[in-house]
Amino acid sequence: MTDVDVIVIGAGFAGLRALYTLRNMGKTVQVLEASPDLGGVWYHNGYPGARCDVESYDYSYSFSPELEQEWRWTERYATQPEILRYINHVADRFDLRQHIQFSTRMTRAAYDEAGGRWTVSAEDGRQWSGQFLMMCVGQLSTTKQPGYPGQETFQGEVIHSGVWPKHPVDLAGKRVAIIGTGSSGMQMTPVIAKEAAHLTVFQRTANYSIPAANAPVLDEEDRQVKANYRARREQALNSPTGLGFMPNKKSALEATPEEREPVYEAAWNRLGFGFALAYYDILLSKPANDTAADFIRRKIGEQINDPVLRDKLTPKNHAFAARRPSVDSGYFKAFNRPNVSLADVREAPIVEFVPEGIRTTEKLHPVDVIIYATGFDAFTGSLLKADIVGRRGLTLKQKWADGPVTQLGVAVADFPNLLIVCGPGSPSLLSNVLLSTEQQIDWLAALIGKMDRDHLLEIEATEQAEQDWVAHVNERVKATLYLSTDSYYNGAEVAGKPRVFMPYSGGVRGYRRILAQCAADGYSGFVLRPVALNSPSPAAPAAQALPA
């Protein structure tokens, strides 16, 4: 068994950042990564058209001014291959690979209450022991595979967008089915439409989407961003979502329709996700939201020639941005092509896969390749994949049987020294997730630094703090429209999953203040101990809660 200070699970953006930061503090770190290479979701989501829908300069690490200056993004919204190149560049530049075990899936982690250490076991039987176990496993990394009857009889390839094969997938001249119209389905549709003989998009819920307004990054723009990068980062940190957009101080309902039109037009043409902040109450008030939704519906309609298709592709049954909208590059216009059709699976549900394709209640759709763009078991899927065993043999699955509970989204009572990056209860997917990731890792690193200085070995959230935080998360979201519809924010994406609102909707700035206050109060809501609670050592002082 190898002993280290911190075992980090996952070598995506979060795992690499944790490794960089902890190693700089002098910690020994072992990163375990199930995949054969770096990148996490950016390693796996290699589907045609995959790109980030947060602007490149904001969806990048902020910890190194040198890195910021030397990396040259080529497009406003980077493609998946470019992001993967960036991640690999970071790993090489900071010499991080040597601390990562690839193709190593954690199957179990158990906390030794007497010794105050985690023992992590991998699929192949190898083990590591660490004082801290830091989970950097992502929020959208466990795929949801509907598994229709007859799937094994289908003669062609079935692929999930989130585990896109590493072998070349030739879709040219093929009949292709895409099931799902979230961000992944919407991104790949216009790209696949250009090469497939025929593309059928199976839609259950029509989704809102704002044009990406993607463009190459010109040298002048690159120079300007780099000359003012600190200010840009500051603005992102102080914006509600971490994307840099500041909400309009005005209510949509204070403005006349004539006044709203140019505001929405400008947001539509350039802002992407920023559209949701065109007025401050778009996500707070249904009548305000209706004004935005009506505008977007009209804009969507203008892109689609056929009136029947226009009606089907126009979102009607949920408020704009109450579930995650998309940022697209030609999704709706793709349906004007003669080789693209829409199958409405609410009208005619999928019954089964057959050797020749997909049979719905209405007809057989003959296809050569089926692509699931059906999303993920969000927030908790990857945290609950392995057995994580805390005090008294309690597993995280048992603890979260009715839904996840955390203190501040980073820690769980009965699971000492388990640290979660962007866990349920943190802004995570309601924010620029990379900014939130860095923010939490810096906070957790400072906590570990304090523990070192004060000779503390164990940190544990209190149950009371967990309950208070979950109550606060629930209270905050009540002020928004997020609860007005089913979504992966509230567990509706997986049948039988507890219906709990998981991300924190109070914004990254508010969350940062809460984290800072918690630290200033001596890590309120946590118990810090100089030895493990059940340490048998006679020399050890009695376990106690230590004020800072």
Asked if 119 contacts 127 with a C-beta cutoff of 8 angstroms, the reply is yes
Strand partners, 528: 459
φ/ψ (deg, to 5) at 516: -65, -40
- The DSSP 8-state label assigned to residue 323 in this structure reads S
**Helices marked H in 245-376:** 257-270, 286-303, 307-313, 331-334
Quick one: CA torsion of 326, 332, 334, 335, rounded to 10 degrees? Answer: 130
In the complex, minimum distance from the CB of residue 160 to ligand N01, in angstroms, rounded to a whole number: 9
Quick one: CA torsion of 315, 321, 325, 331, rounded to 10 degrees? Answer: 40
Rule CB under 6 A: is residue 324 a binding residue for ligand N01? yes
- Beta carbon nearer to ligand N01, 146 or 150: 146
In the complex, minimum distance from the CB of residue 414 to ligand N01, in angstroms, rounded to a whole number: 30
In the complex, minimum distance from the CB of residue 505 to ligand N01, in angstroms, rounded to a whole number: 15
Per-residue interface string for the shown chain with ligand N01, residues 345-374, x marking contact by CB under 6 A? x---------------------------xx
Asked if 51 contacts 78 with a C-beta cutoff of 8 angstroms, the reply is yes
Candidate segments 62-70, 169-177, 202-210, 508-516, binder of ligand N01 by CB under 6 A: 202-210
Residue with the shortest CB distance to ligand N01: 182
Rule CB under 6 A: is residue 490 a binding residue for ligand N01? no
Q: Distance of alpha carbon 140 from its chain centroid, rounded? A: 5
The residues in 234-273 that bind ligand N01, with binding defined as CB under 6 A, are none
d(CA 227, CA 209): 32
Rule CB under 6 A: is residue 497 a binding residue for ligand N01? no
Per-residue interface string for the shown chain with ligand N01, residues 172-191, x marking contact by CB under 6 A? -------xxxxxxx-x----
CA distances (Å), 298 to each of 190, 260, 269, 291, 413, in order?
A: 20, 14, 14, 11, 49
The residues in 273-312 that bind ligand N01, with binding defined as CB under 6 A, are none
d(CA 361, CA 346): 10
- Beta carbon nearer to ligand N01, 109 or 296: 296
Rule CB under 6 A: is residue 535 a binding residue for ligand N01? no
What is the identity of the amino acid at 212?
A: A
Residue 85 neighbours by CB under 8 Å, 6+ apart: none
The residues in 418-447 that bind ligand N01, with binding defined as CB under 6 A, are 429
Per CB under 6 A, the list member of 146, 287, 355, 522 interacting with ligand N01 is 146
Number of residues that bind ligand N01 (CB under 6 A): 26
Rule CB under 6 A: is residue 161 a binding residue for ligand N01? yes
Asked if 366 contacts 429 with a C-beta cutoff of 8 angstroms, the reply is no
Rule CB under 6 A: is residue 397 a binding residue for ligand N01? no
- Beta carbon nearer to ligand N01, 29 or 350: 350
Q: What residues make contact with ligand N01 under the rule CB under 6 A?
A: 51-53, 140, 146, 161, 179-185, 187, 202, 204-205, 324, 345, 373-376, 429, 488, 493
